[in-house]
Structure 1
Amino acid sequence: MFRVNTALDSVSLRRIIVGQHFYYPKMSQQHQEQGQSAKKGPSPKPRGHPRDSPDVRISKSLSYLLRHGAEKAGLNIRQDGYAKVSDVLANPMFRDVTFIHLQDIVKRDQKSRYHLLFEPQTLESACTDVWWIRANQGHSIKNIELDLQLIESASEIPMAVHGTTRQAWNLIATQGLSKMKRNHIHLAQDVPGSGVISGMRNSSQILIFVDVQKALDAGIRFCLSANGVVLTEGNGDGFLSPEFFLRVENGNRTPLQGWEGSGPIVLAPLVQANIKVDDVVTDGAQPENLLS
């Protein structure tokens, strides 16, 4: 479900900026101890491949927990997708993860998958520092209503492209793109090779370019997530029909026979740049093989 926020300024990550350095309010000792004290018993295996670095496996575990596994793990998650950091760190999967380590993973994630939020409490009886974290998109958890920016014209984004595998394309070519178990179909605003692309795996073998304006005119809604991923719920059945495919290419940018469209797709100038993306820290380097 879309919850459209045309301003995206109702909440923001509170921080002090000095030059290019970011300083965050500290998590209280009480919260850190709560998270550490709950980490008892055998630690479940982190997600990801054993050959992945420890930070990549932590990020994949975090992605799964916040996008899909909160209910199974007994994690309380707000309707806007945020969970308390202290609750997340209390999960045995994050036995060895400190708050500072978590901040570093969020900050260095090139695709800005996560957002940390600091909400000071005004009541004297309440804790004075509450940190929250959410995944910016990619949820299969129902009833999560993210603050998304409504796209009203195709001119507001340079392009919308979905990356997939050759095997999956055989079905997509006939039935269209499906949101499957997720809440949205994910589209990127550029193709691999042009930098880090949120919303698409770098290993995509097939690139499906979407005619956003045609779909908008047909009543399909599109929104932009805080980390720049174009999202759509598709039609009433959760599909984006092939009639809205502009062109389909192989991963090397050569056209797929029968799906050449009107020619190569290039970045379009933004005629109406009114999309305000949430402020997320993304400096630093991070491995590219995390979940998209």
Structure 2
Amino acid sequence: MARRGGGRSKDKGSGNSAEPRDVQISKAMSWLLRHGAKGEGIKMDANGYINVADLMAWRKFHNLSVTLSELHTIVDTNAKQRFSMIPLPSTTSGPPDDDPSHYLIRANQGHSLAISSENLLKPILATDPDFPSLVVHGTNDEAWNGIRKSGGLKRMSRRHVHFATGVPESLDKDRVTGESNNTSTQKAAKNGISNERGDIVIGNQGAETSLPSTSNSTEATKVISGMRANATVLIWVDVARSMDEGGLKWWRSDNGVILTEGDAHGTVSMDWVDRVEMKGTGKTLWTRAEDRK
């Protein structure tokens, strides 16, 4: 299926001068941390972190005259909790300081850069007490038709296909849910693929890190972000079946996004889809059971 809507891996870090300053900074940082660090000559470690001093010296941040205090505020208050900012282990014994080189920062998910899932994310296991038996991906009508014809959701240029365990309340007053014990959140990606503006995130059930975290604390089941407002279709995937029969690996990001690389072809097959619904109304568009008749 052709990727409509444009790629997100090209330089989108400039922002729009008509947008609020915090939005400009957040968009620039999202692009750099997810897609552009290597091309910009900024060193990124195996866990996806870069040094904040390098971020502050980056040409676009330099042009915006971003301060460390401003960066702390943007990371801590970002509605989608896209970023993790931590002190270097060698500096954690003392009080917080204002030296940018004493901090590391990364995007929590949405990368096109080659970062190992094991280093970035927490694996989801069948024995987990919060194992998400069903997860949901939001898209639109046109993309759903393409997804069905192509045989499933594709990760395209991204490292993963993005999901969540429920539908954001702010975008679905009818609270369409997969199961009564799945009450978190989800991200929708336009045209059936993930991008940073569509990321669905859930509560504080994120990946553990070997480095101390100083931000991104939320209630365990609080929906902190949601689908794009134009998402109209919900694709519910059976995680257990995909693991047992398809061998798919599943992950959870620091900000609660549910992710998978898909199969060897980067696809989450329709074989693992449980049902497809219209968002809000719950009208069924497709079910595995009906398709097998």
TM range (shorter): 0.5 to 0.7
User: Shift in Å at residue 202 of structure 1?
Assistant: 3.1
Distance 2:275 2:17 in 1: 37
Matched residue SS, 2:46:
coil
Q: Closer, same or farther in 2 for the Cα pair 1:163/1:45, shift >3 Å?
A: closer
> Whose RCO is larger (CA < 8 A, sep 6+)?
1
Distance in 1, matches of 2:37 and 2:146, equals 31
2:276 is paired with a residue whose SS is strand
Give the drift of 1:214.
0.7
Equivalent residue in structure 2 for 1:141, among 110, 113, 135: 113
- Aligned mates of 2:15, 2:232 — CA distance in 1: 21
Distance 1:65 1:249, change over 3 A: same
Displacement, 1:209? 0.6
| More displaced stretch, 140-149 vs 160-169 | 140-149
1:202 — aligned with what? 228
Alignment TM-score, normalising by the size of structure 1: 0.67
State whether structure 2 residue 209 is matched by structure 1 residue 181.
Answer: no
Q: Is the 8 A contact 1:148 1:226 kept in 2?
A: yes
Distance in structure 1 (CA, Å) of the matches to 2:281 and 2:30: 30
Counterpart among 198, 206, 211 of residue 238 in structure 2: 211
- Residues 56 and 129 from structure 1, CA distance in 2 versus in 1: closer, same or farther, beyond 3 angstroms? closer
The C-alpha deviation readout for 1:106-142, integer Å capped at 9, x for no partner, is: 00012211001111438xxxx9962100001111001
User: For this pair of structures, how many residues does the alignment match?
Assistant: 215
Distance 1:116 1:190, change over 3 A: same
Choose which of 116, 129, 136 in structure 1 pairs with 2:85. Answer: 116
Residue 165 of structure 1: CA displacement? 2.1
User: In structure 1, what is the Cα distance between the partners aligned to 2:42 and 2:24?
Assistant: 19
Distance 1:62 1:234 in 2: 27
| 1:49 positional shift | 4.5
Q: 2:13 & 2:253 partners in 1: Cα distance? A: 27
Q: Is the 8 A contact 2:51 2:101 kept in 1?
A: no
Unmatched 5+ stretches in structure 2:
1-10, 92-98, 172-184, 188-198, 201-226
The RMSD of aligned alpha carbons is 2.7
**Partner residue of 1:150?**
123
Alpha carbons 1:158, 1:190 under 8 Å: kept = no
Identity of aligned residues (%): 37
Which residue number in structure 1 is paired with residue 3 of structure 2?
Answer: none
- The reply to whether residue 107 of structure 1 matches residue 76 of structure 2 is yes
Superposition deviation, residue 261 in structure 1:
5.4
Rg bigger for which structure? 1
Distance 1:161 1:188 in 2: 5
Structure-2 residue corresponding to 1:75: 42
Query: In the alignment, what sits opposite 2:4?
Result: none
| 8 Å Cα contact 2:13-2:30 kept in structure 1 | no
Matched residue type, 1:208: I
Q: Distance in 2 between matches of 1:220 and 1:197?
A: 19
The Cα offsets for residues 182-228 of structure 1, whole Å up to 9 and x where unpaired, read as 11111012113258755332322211011111101121111111111
Alpha carbons of structure 1 residues 84 and 167: separation in structure 2 relative to 1, 3 Å: same
Letter in 2 for 1:167: E
Tell me if the contact between 2:82 and 2:108 (Cα under 8 Å) persists in the aligned partners. Answer: yes
Change (3 A) 1:129 1:59: closer
On the 8 A contact 2:85/2:106 being kept in 1, the answer is: yes
Deviation at residue 144 of structure 1 after TM alignment: 4.1
Counterpart-to-counterpart distance in 1, 2:37 and 2:112: 10
- Indicate how the Cα distance of structure 1 residues 169 and 112 shifts in structure 2: closer, same or farther if over 3 A, else same: same
**Contact in 2 for aligned 1:121/1:129 (Cα 8 Å):** no
**Larger CA deviation: 218-227 vs 79-88:** 218-227
Contact 2:155 2:266 in 1 (8 A): yes
1:151 to partner: Cα distance: 1.4
Give the match for residue 254 of structure 2. 226
Are residues 262 and 103 of structure 1, via their aligned partners in 2, closer, same or farther at CA, if it must alter by over 3 Å? farther
From 138, 141, 148, the counterpart of 1:163: 138
Unaligned runs of 5+ in 1: 1-43, 264-292
